């Protein structure tokens, strides 16, 4: 009798272990990861020096304390995490190898608008890392959802020109490219929140296709 009960107990424990393992595997598989790669924020970025100040010793950056690339990225991160995604934020200048981009299911680029273009550190990502993925990785980044956002101080076309340039660049790498968003540094908090939410929902729809 004891032997029979012992065998049944072992079978039950084994059953629980298997169920736990399967549950863990399913949950792990369902948790998708997103990288927010960005440039910009509040100081140490400096305003542009005057014409007679000599050589520039730091990257200039037009930004505000309340609406900038970094804190918009944090809002995107928070929204996606609340929807069950694992999200990491990394500065563009800290990226060393193209392989660092390959472990994520989705990648979001954040940049300030500089003269209707992406900021130099974001362009550098394309020139130093994305070109290697483009030329040497089979399928490039077609297994990932890609998108981006930009912050801009002036109203008008410059922010949209910047975003258009960014998204067009991403289309060379992935067919699953999501329309990004433009956020003005003068936008009120409710508008910023709405733009972030709409952007995140588009991105979630795309990444769930993978």
Q: Is 53 domain-assigned?
A: no
Domain carrying residue 24: 1-30
C-alpha 114/C-alpha 66 separation (Å) is 19
Count of C-beta atoms within a 10 Å radius of residue 206? 19
Domain CATH for 158 = 3.40.50.360
C-alpha 143/C-alpha 105 separation (Å) is 7
Residue 92 DSSP label: G
Together in a domain, 106 and 63: yes
Q: How confident is the model at residue 21 (pLDDT cuts 50, 70, 90)?
A: very low
pLDDT digits (tens, 9 = 90+) for 51-106: 887 776 666 665 677 889 999 999 999 999 999 999 999 999 999 999 999 999 99
Residue 140 DSSP label: T
pLDDT digits (tens, 9 = 90+) for 83-96: 999 999 999 999 99
Percent helix, strand and coil across the chain, each rounded to 5?
50, 20, 35
């Amino acid at each position: 009798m004891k032997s029979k009960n012992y065998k049944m107990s072992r079978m039950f424990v084994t059953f629980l272990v298997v169920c736990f393992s399967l549950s863990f595997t399913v949950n792990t598989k369902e948790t998708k990861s997103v990288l927010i790669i960005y440039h910009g924020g509040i100081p140490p970025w400096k305003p542009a020096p005057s014409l007679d100040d000599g050589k520039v010793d730091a990257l200039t950056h037009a930004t505000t304390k309340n609406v900038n690339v970094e804190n918009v990225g944090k809002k995107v991160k928070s929204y996606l995490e609340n929807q069950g995604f694992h999200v990491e934020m990394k500065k563009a200048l800290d990226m060393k190898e193209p392989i660092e981009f390959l472990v994520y299911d989705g990648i979001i680029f954040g940049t300030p608008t500089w003269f209707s273009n992406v900021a130099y550190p974001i362009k550098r990502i394309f020139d130093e890392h994305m070109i290697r993925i483009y030329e040497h990785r089979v399928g490039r980044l077609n297994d990932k959802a890609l998108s981006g956002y930009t912050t801009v101080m002036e109203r008008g076309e410059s922010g949209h020109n910047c975003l258009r340039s960014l998204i067009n660049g991403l289309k060379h790498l992935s067919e699953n490219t999501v329309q990004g968003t433009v956020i003005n540094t003068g936008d009120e908090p409710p508008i910023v929140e709405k733009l972030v939410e709409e952007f995140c929902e588009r991105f979630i729809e795309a990444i769930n296709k993978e």
